[in-house]
Structure 1
Amino acid sequence: MDNNTISSLITNFFSSEELLMSGMVRIEDILDSVQSSSSSESSSSSDDSEREETVKGDNFCDVIDNYSSSEFRTHMRLRRSTVEFLIEKYSATIAKSTNPGGRARVTPRTKMYLYIWYIGHTVTFRDLSRLFGISNSTAWHIINTLSSWIISSGHNFIKWPQGAAATEVEKKYKNKNDIPGIIGVIGCTHIQIKAPNNNKENYFNRANTYSLVLQAVVDPDKRFTDLSCGEPGSMNSSKVLRRSNLFIKAQLEGQELFPKDYFLLGDSTYPSTSWLVSQFKENKLTLSQQLFNKLHSSTHLVVENAFSLLKARFRRLQHFSEQMNLCFMVNIIVSACVLHNICIDLDDILIDDFKDDNFQKLDNIKAGLIEDDIYLDRRDLLFKYLQETKVI
Structure 2
Amino acid sequence: MATLRQNTSVATKHKLSNTLRNWLPILHSSLGDLNEIMAPFVEANPVVEIKSGYEEEFAKKIPKKILSGQVSNSRTQQIEALTIQSRSLYEILDEQIGKPLFPTPLSQKIASFIVENLDENGYYEGDTKSFCGVNAISEDEFERVRLRFAFIEPVGIAAKNLAESFLFQLDNSDISDEAYPFCVEIINSLEDIHEFSSKEHFSEAMRVLSSFKNPPAIEYQEDSAQVVPDLMIFFNDEDEIEIKLNDEYYPIIKIDTNYAVEHEFITQKIKEAKSLVDALDMRRATLYKVGLMIVEYQYEFFVGGQIMPLTLKTLADEFGHNPSTISRAIANKYIACDRGLFAMKEFFTTAIDEDVSNAAIKEFLIGLIKQENRQKPLSDMKLLELIQEKFKVKMVRRTIAKYRKQLNIAGSSERKKLYHLH
TM-score, normalisation: structure 2: 0.22
TM-score, normalisation: structure 1: 0.23
